[in-house]
Amino acid sequence: MKIDGNEIRPGNVIEHQNRLWRAVKTQHVKPGKGGAFLQVELKEIRDGTKLNERFRSSETVERVRLDQKEYQFLFADGDEYTFMDQESYEQISVNGNMIGEDQIPFLQDGMMVEIESYEDRPIGVSLPERVTLVVTEADAVVKGQTASSSYKPAVMDNGVRVLVPPHIEAGTRIVVTTADVTYVERAKD
């Protein structure tokens, strides 16, 4: 689908220079002299190469439609992660680079993820926005700290460190956002 150069939004996947790129950041620029343009930071989907490109509103780019489907995480074998389609029971393996080093610790057995594919080839894996984890270690509360809104470091069962409120202790189940690794709330189950 063709779109104008100034309609690119972060997260869009476009075809540019015969390669697939995901728009990471966009900024409208109106210089004092000349026409306005959109400054776009692009990241190549396959190898992660970055590119800064200017698009004028008169230019058109090809926006790529991706197929998105839910899969269930089964197991990891080295740097390969295997997922299963819930409808056809077909299994696919993807490289850890598609998931992201910072997201891999949040993968849990049986977790449902969304896999984006282009022409039946997987190009990206999206984890749920929030996951429930168990606190394995939490620092002791320093007397007097409860009066202010302070946080203490804690280690989750997947090895990730999260800042938690003082009342959270080891063994507590908490909800954490996967995007920025922040505490949301105590798990309600």
Question: Per residue in 79-131, pLDDT tens?
Answer: 899 999 989 999 999 888 788 788 889 998 999 999 988 888 888 888 899 99
The predicted structure's pLDDT at residue 112: 94
Question: Of 27, 44, 63, which marks where a domain is finished?
Answer: 63
β-sheet with 152-156: strand ranges across: 161-164, 152-156, 130-138, 173-177, 183-186
17 and 42 both lie in a single domain: yes
Count up the domains in the chain and report the number.
3
Instruction: Mark whether 162 and 113 lie in a shared domain.
Output: no
Query: What are the residues facing 132 on neighbouring strands?
Result: 175
Instruction: Mark which of 48, 63, 78 sits at the end of a domain.
Output: 63
User: Are 64 and 13 a contacting pair, CB within 8 Å?
Assistant: yes
Is 62's pLDDT higher than 70? yes
76 and 113 in a single domain? The answer is yes
Mean pLDDT of 175-187: 90
Contacts of residue 26, defined as CB under 8 A and 6 or more positions apart, other chains included, come to 8, 9, 10, 38, 39, 40, 41
3-state secondary structure of 125: strand
Do 177 and 158 sit in the same domain of this protein?
yes
Q: For the domain that residue 181 is a member of, what is the CATH number?
A: 2.40.50.140
Q: Identify the H or E element spanning 97.
A: helix 96-99
Q: What's the rounded Cα separation, in Å, for the pair 177 and 102?
A: 12
146 and 182 together in one domain:
yes
Per-residue pLDDT reduced to its tens digit, 7-25:
888 878 899 988 888 888 8
- Determine the Cα–Cα distance for residues 86 and 182; give it in Å rounded to an integer: 30
Q: Which of 63, 86, 104 is the last residue of a domain?
A: 63
Q: Is residue 43 located within the same domain as residue 87?
A: no
Same domain as 78, residue 59:
no
Please give the pLDDT value at position 23.
Answer: 87
pLDDT at 149 over 80: no
What does the alpha-carbon distance between residue 83 and residue 96 come to, in Å, rounded to a whole number? 12
Share of the chain above pLDDT 90, in %: 37
Q: Is 122 found in the same domain as 140?
A: no
Q: How does residue 147 score in pLDDT terms, banded at 50, 70 and 90?
A: low
Q: Say whether both 106 and 91 belong to one domain.
A: yes
pTM here? 0.72
Domain that holds residue 181: 130-186
Judge if 98 and 119 occupy the same domain.
yes
Give 41-55 pLDDT, tens digit per residue.
Answer: 998 887 778 999 999
Q: Could you give the residue ranges of the DSSP H alpha helices within 65-175?
A: 96-99
